[in-house]
C-alpha cells in the first residue's frame, strides 16, 4: 500500500523540517523527488540527503516568490524527468508581529511566500497534470489558519486562504483525475518552532492531548497517503495533524 513508484514529486522547501521529511518519505515509497531550497547550499543538501537514502532525484534552487524562477524551474524539471505528478506546496515562513506594529512589507512578504506562491507553483505544474489526466496537489496549511493566533494575522490569513484555494481547485480539476488536498500541521519540531520560549512550549505540550509536539515524519505520513492511489477518492479535504490540539 501507498507505493509511489513511477511518480515524479516536486516538494517545495525540502531543505529542512517538514519538507525534508516529506521528500524522504515519498522517495522511500518509490517516487522520484525534486526538492527545493532558496540557496545553492540548501539544494546541494537536498541532493545529498536523497543520495544517502538511495532515492532518485535532486535538489534545485527555487524561490517561490519569483514568478519567472518558478516557470523556469518547473520547465527544467519536466524536461529532465517528465511531467510532475505530485506537487507538495510546503515552502513557507513566518514574520510575527501584532497587527498595530505590522509593516506593510511584513504582511506582503508572508502573503507572497505562503499563498501567492502556491498559486504560481500550482499553475506551472497543473498543465502537465491535466494533460496526463492524473495528479496530486498537497498544500501545507496550518492549524492557525483555522484557529487564528495572536501575532500571526499575516500568516493565519495566508494559511486560511490556502484552505479556500485547495477546496476551489479541487472542484475545478476533479474531472481530470487530479486531487487537491491540504495538510494542517499543529506544532511540529522544526526551525520554525525552535524559537518558542520554554514556558510556551511547556504550555503547548500540556494543551496537546497526545502530549508532545509533532515531528516532520508525522506530517510526511499523511502526505504519502494523500499522494497514493489509496487516497484517490479524497479531494478538497484538509487533514489536521496536531496531536488532538484542534
Ligand atoms: P522550516 O523548517 O522553517 O523550513 C522552511 C522551508 O521553506 C525551507 O526549506 C525553506 O528553504 C523554504 N522556504 C522558505 N521561504 C521560501 C521561498 N521564498 N521559496 C522557496 N522556499 C522557501 O519550516 P517547517 O516548519 O518545516 O514548515 C514547512 C511548512 O509547514 C510551512 O508551510 C509552514 O508554514 C508549515 N507549518 C509548519 C508548522 C510547524 O509547527 N513547524 C506548523 C504548521 C504549518 P531554504 O532552504 O531556502 O531556507
Q: Which of 107, 155, 165, 187 is catalytic?
A: 155
Determine if ligand 1 sits within 6 Å of the CB of residue 42. yes
Determine if ligand 1 sits within 6 Å of the CB of residue 121. no
Q: State the pLDDT confidence band at 46, using cuts at 50, 70 and 90.
A: very high
What is the predicted pLDDT for the residue at 89? 99
Determine if ligand 1 sits within 6 Å of the CB of residue 145. no
Tell me if the pTM is above 0.95.
yes
Taking only the tens place, the pLDDT of each residue in 103-127 is 999 999 999 999 999 999 999 999 9
Instruction: Give residue 175 CA to ligand 1 midpoint distance, Å.
Output: 31
Block residue for cell numbers 519567472: 68
Instruction: Give residue 65 CA to ligand 1 midpoint distance, Å.
Output: 13
Instruction: Give residue 99 CA to ligand 1 midpoint distance, Å.
Output: 22
- With 0-12 / 13-18 / 19 or more C-beta atoms within 10 angstroms meaning exposed / middle / buried, residue 96 is middle
Query: How far from each other are the two terminal CA atoms of the chain, in whole angstroms?
Result: 28
Determine if ligand 1 sits within 6 Å of the CB of residue 60. no
The span from the CA of 33 to the CA of 45, in Å, is 13
Amino acid at each position: 500500500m501507498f507505493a509511489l513508484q513511477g511518480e515524479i514529486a516536486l516538494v517545495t522547501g525540502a531543505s529542512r523540517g517538514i519538507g525534508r521529511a516529506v521528500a524522504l518519505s515519498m522517495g522511500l515509497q518509490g517516487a522520484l523527488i525534486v526538492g527545493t531550497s532558496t540557496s545553492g547550499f540548501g539544494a546541494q543538501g537536498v541532493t545529498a540527503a536523497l543520495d544517502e537514502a538511495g532515492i532518485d532525484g535532486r535538489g534545485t534552487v527555487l524561490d517561490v516568490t519569483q514568478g519567472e524562477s518558478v516557470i523556469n524551474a518547473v520547465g527544467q524539471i519536466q524536461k529532465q524527468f517528465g511531467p510532475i505528478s505530485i506537487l507538495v506546496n510546503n515552502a513557507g515562513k513566518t514574520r510575527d508581529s501584532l497587527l498595530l506594529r505590522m509593516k506593510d512589507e511584513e504582511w506582503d512578504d508572508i502573503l507572497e511566500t505562503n499563498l501567492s506562491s502556491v498559486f504560481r507553483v500550482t499553475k506551472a505544474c497543473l498543465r502537465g497534470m491535466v494533460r496526463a489526466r492524473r495528479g496530486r496537489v498537497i498544500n501545507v496549511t496550518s492549524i492557525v489558519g483555522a484557529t487564528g493566533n495572536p501575532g500571526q494575522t499575516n500568516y493565519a490569513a495566508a494559511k486560511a486562504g490556502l484552505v479556500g484555494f485547495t477546496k476551489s481547485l479541487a472542484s475545478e480539476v476533479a474531472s481530470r483525475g487530479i486531487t487537491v488536498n491540504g495538510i494542517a500541521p499543529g506544532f511540529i519540531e522544526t526551525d520554525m518552532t525552535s524559537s518558542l520560549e520554554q514556558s510556551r512550549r511547556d504550555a503547548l505540550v500540556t494543551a496537546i492531548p497526545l502530549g508532545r509536539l509533532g515531528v516532520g515524519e508525522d506530517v510526511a505520513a499523511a502526505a504519502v497517503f494523500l499522494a497514493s492511489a489509496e487516497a484517490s477518492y479524497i479531494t478538497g479535504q484538509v487533514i489536521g495533524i496536531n496531536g488532538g490540539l484542534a
